[in-house]
Structure 1
Amino acid sequence: MAAQYRYQIGTKTYQFASLKEVMAKASPLRSGDQLAGVCAQSAEERVVAQMVLANLPLKVFLNEALIPYEKDEITRLIIDSHDKIAFAEIAHLTVGDFRNWLLQESTTSVELARVSPGITPEMAAAVSKIMRNQDLILVGKKCQVITAFRNTIGLPGRLSTRLQPNHPTDDLNGIAASIFDGLMYGNGDAVIGINPATDNVSQAIKLMKLMDEVIQHYEIPTQSCVLTHVTNTVEAIEKGAPVDLVFQSIGGTEATNQGFGINLNVISEAYDAALSLNRGSVGNNVMYFETGQGSALSANGHHDVDQQTCEVRAYALARRFKPLLVNTVVGFIGPEYLFDGKQITRAGLEDHFCGKLLGLPMGCDICYTNHAYADQNDMDNLLTLLGVAECSFIMGIPGSDDIMLNYQTTSFHDALYARQVLGHKAAPEFEAWLQKMQIAGHNGQSLLNDRLSPHFTKPLGLISEAI
């Protein structure tokens, strides 16, 4: 066993068998790692693992794969796509030195963007494990990742939202009502995205046409997405459907993605198909990915790697396809993986930091299930912290309650709160549209006070005619 994984305190010696074990035991406590049996057995062991991790050179992650190269296509992607030139600037650092470099005032968004292709997911996960929440917020804010399709996401001082008008029966008038409600509160610049209750190609196309009709009629500078399986979206493209973004849930191991019914080749086919449509007006970022800590363990595809590191490995797949949006659905899988508000908050900040550090436009579904030890006050706290960290986008749902997926998240009003208290605005093209439609003033604040915009004339009638 390697001496670099050994640490002595007085007469007691801690010995870790591998880099994988050091990573797992250095991770802040969470229920998923307890369930997997990979976490530290005491606070002392956790601190020792963090000290061992801090002293490791970043180069060790290029020499010791947590999941063998020959057994996992995500490992192969990470190793084969590693940018050695970008890494050279930080190649001499240990994990602890890397943390210090990230926190230096002289390390700006320019330096972070320059080294980003040289940072592997495991390096990002490792440094996050020895950082406080404030460290994650500070560096997350410094990382600027800008993407575009019909508007521009991720500019400094901007906070976008996904308008999520889900309905338990996919009732089109119910969905339309939620869309217009969200638009009146300035939501929807990241995407208008529907999780279909009935997940098949014909239903997906019906929902795509509904959203496209609204976007085209009102000339809204935003994009739509039906969160169906990627193969359904490819089939919809082949049938001539108005597809803006291609969605897929992804994981950080090949086995996890097999559980989702995908691999790199499947995603590549969809990516090429979406690019061929050329529907973007200001950019061509066409992919939307969702992730979440615990997905690898729930699929029995974690290879005894801690859940946070598995999560960050998913970001390697995401950045391969230059997405418009990446969303960690942080508390959605349940308390078996993130037990309470404290664990959900830490995971949300970790995911945002690691994703941005790797060059991804990270958003967060700030959420919890009803059997978790969390409440809306916990979500208010995480929303505020992520807003300070300049998270790219959050969710906007009527009343914070998704009546189709049965979980609690952030509302249209929550987005207004975050923008008002932090001085953030919507994406610039969308902000101009809100002003044009007399929904928002030039200061970005709502003008409507629960009344309908005079430009939304008989909106539900329009949708009924369209379908």
Structure 2
Amino acid sequence: MPYQHTIRGKVYLFNDLRVLLARAAPFRTGDALAGLSAETYEERVAAQITLADVPLTDFLNTAVIPYELDEVTRLIVDGHDLQAFNPISHLTVGGFRDWLLKDETDHAVLKGIEAGITPEMVAAVSKIMRNQDLIAVAKKCEVITRFRNTVGLKGHFSTRLQANHPTDDPKGILAGIIDGLFYGSGDAVIGINPASDSPAAVMKLLLLIDRLREQFEIPTQSCILSHVTTTIDLINQNAPVDLCFQSIAGTEQANNSFGVNLTLLDEAHQATLSLNRGTVGSNVMYFETGQGSALSANAHHGVDQQTCEVRAYAIARKYNPMLVNTVVGFIGPEYLYDGKQIIRAALEDHFCGKLMGLPMGVDVCYTNHAEADQDDMDNLVTLLGVAGCNFIMGIPGSDDIMLNYQSTSFHDALYVRKMLGLKPAPEFEQWLIKQGITDPSGSLMDPDPALLKKMDSLWQI
């Protein structure tokens, strides 16, 4: 169905909902690269005004990627809850924005509509929201997950301790992990991207982290970010897998390029649950996403990169994950050119994921050839802290020497916690106090010599 709007006598015609969503998106280089973005600022405004008047029911009657071509579309359509949709079924996209911003639309109300909103509805409303709108609504959402600790509680802010190494050297990784622990990092997960996806290499890292966790009774979870097929094979060997990781995207074709589909994810989810390693909960999946992934695989079907991104959240939602994070600036300036685009995309992703009920974190990051710097990341991490982001990355010196990109350091998380009065996950916080790493106020303490001596034994690997 075509949509149109007239500005100063000029008629802007948008052939269908897919085109309208793309033209209404704030400018980013990925959509321009794909030939999807508005050609002028006036056309973008016309598209946003038009989109604001689109009834939410239109999204139930129109699939941006045909049902018969895409299993992600089938998941979205078949899983939609009309009863949960009913409270907002009378609204337009613009009316939905106004409803979301009302004071009486609180966490409980938002929780009630989660199953009734589709990714395309959520992407649409984000396109007509200012940054402060995205922050204000995301702040209302509380998405709590549990495995060995509790992540996502109001007043708490967690980190993934990411001590990658370019050769998977165990001592190098261990040094990074210990450094992070002494800065209060690692309550979301101790997660390592392996340089090699070989089962033997991944098993070695799993055993390394599990030994450290058990010896010091650390109430956190571990994850080696290997491909899901490698993880399933290791689970069948009874490896100490806490969380199962996989990168996902918003179209079946893009996921095929990652070597995954919903059937395989079902298998991985059930296999990881079967280990029964959680102590306070059973959220066992960890997903990473990022705007531009479907476009980079030439698998976007003419859908703008942000709408594709939010469609990936429908997959994540199916598995009740422990963690989801958008690696927002990782793909590069071909998709998000500069600090402004990265900041906007991160706030969109966090808002959209939270509204869909996901435990969203953000890898606040950029590649070295992007027009961005650490000041942009300082701005973004502060905004995300205000917005109630569940977690960020903690990387030694904020420089990932294996993946070759810039992210956030252990100090950045300490800054956010101190400035905004936030704490680590409660079980992890008590462990930090017990170990003498922090005091009850969250301030770092001088390392206990007895603890340092105990850690000396770890180097015998």
TM-score (norm 2): 0.99
The aligned counterpart of 1:124 is 122
1:455 is aligned, of 433, 451, 457, to 451
Report Cα offsets for 1:272-294 as digits up to 9, x if no partner: 00001110000000000000000
2:153 maps to 1:165: no
1:196 is aligned, of 191, 194, 197, to 194
What SS does structure 1 have at the residue aligned with 2:220? Answer: coil
The 5 Å alignment of 1:26-425 reads 26-425=24-423
CA distance in 2, matches of 1:69, 1:463: 54
> 4+ residue runs of structure 1 moved beyond 6 angstroms?
none
What SS does structure 1 have at the residue aligned with 2:196? Answer: coil
What SS does structure 2 have at the residue aligned with 1:212? Answer: helix
Tell me if structure 1 keeps the 8 A contact 2:328–2:345: yes
What is the letter of the counterpart of residue 454 of structure 1? A
CA distance in 1, matches of 2:222, 2:42: 48
Tell me if structure 2 keeps the 8 A contact 1:184–1:452: no
What is the letter of the counterpart of residue 450 of structure 2? P
What is the letter of the counterpart of residue 383 of structure 1? V
Report Cα offsets for 1:75-116 as digits up to 9, x if no partner: 000000011111001111000000001000111001011111
Matched residue count:
461
What SS does structure 1 have at the residue aligned with 2:88? Answer: coil
Q: Quick one: structure 1 residues 367 and 102, their matched pair in 2 at CA, closer, same or farther if it must change by over 3 Å? A: same
2:434 is aligned, of 426, 436, 445, to 436
What is the letter of the counterpart of residue 412 of structure 1? F
Identity %: 65
CA distance in 2, matches of 1:10, 1:391: 41
CA distance in 2, matches of 1:437, 1:273: 34
Tell me if structure 1 keeps the 8 A contact 2:145–2:151: yes
CA distance in 2, matches of 1:174, 1:306: 40
Report Cα offsets for 1:217-271 as digits up to 9, x if no partner: 1000000000000000000001111000000000000000000000000000000
CA distance in 1, matches of 2:255, 2:456: 39
Deviation of 1:456 after TM superposition, in Å, equals 3.7
CA distance in 1, matches of 2:90, 2:106: 19
CA distance in 2, matches of 1:25, 1:9: 15
What SS does structure 1 have at the residue aligned with 2:148? Answer: coil
CA distance in 2, matches of 1:220, 1:427: 12
What is the letter of the counterpart of residue 225 of structure 1? C
The aligned counterpart of 2:16 is 18
What SS does structure 2 have at the residue aligned with 1:327? Answer: strand
Tell me if structure 2 keeps the 8 A contact 1:438–1:453: no
Tell me if structure 1 keeps the 8 A contact 2:436–2:448: no
Deviation of 1:453 after TM superposition, in Å, equals 6.0
What SS does structure 2 have at the residue aligned with 1:141? Answer: helix
What SS does structure 2 have at the residue aligned with 1:326? Answer: strand
TM-score (norm 1): 0.98
CA distance in 2, matches of 1:166, 1:177: 10
CA distance in 2, matches of 1:453, 1:254: 53
CA distance in 1, matches of 2:388, 2:9: 46
What SS does structure 1 have at the residue aligned with 2:450? Answer: coil
What SS does structure 1 have at the residue aligned with 2:195? Answer: coil
Deviation of 1:447 after TM superposition, in Å, equals 1.4
CA distance in 1, matches of 2:161, 2:112: 33
Deviation of 1:458 after TM superposition, in Å, equals 4.2
Deviation of 1:10 after TM superposition, in Å, equals 3.3
CA distance in 2, matches of 1:265, 1:453: 50
What is the letter of the counterpart of residue 428 of structure 1? P
CA distance in 2, matches of 1:436, 1:83: 46
Unaligned 5+ segments in structure 2 are none
Deviation of 1:198 after TM superposition, in Å, equals 1.4
Report Cα offsets for 1:7-57 as digits up to 9, x if no partner: 112321111100000000000000000000000000000000001100001
What is the letter of the counterpart of residue 256 of structure 1? A
Tell me if structure 1 keeps the 8 A contact 2:107–2:142: yes
CA distance in 1, matches of 2:46, 2:7: 9
What SS does structure 1 have at the residue aligned with 2:453? Answer: coil
CA distance in 2, matches of 1:272, 1:457: 40
Deviation of 1:461 after TM superposition, in Å, equals 2.9
CA distance in 2, matches of 1:113, 1:86: 9
What is the letter of the counterpart of residue 223 of structure 2? C
CA distance in 1, matches of 2:221, 2:450: 23
What SS does structure 2 have at the residue aligned with 1:248? Answer: strand
Q: Quick one: structure 1 residues 453 and 396, their matched pair in 2 at CA, closer, same or farther if it must change by over 3 Å? A: farther
CA distance in 1, matches of 2:141, 2:449: 36
Deviation of 1:60 after TM superposition, in Å, equals 0.5
Tell me if structure 2 keeps the 8 A contact 1:330–1:348: yes
CA distance in 1, matches of 2:68, 2:456: 54
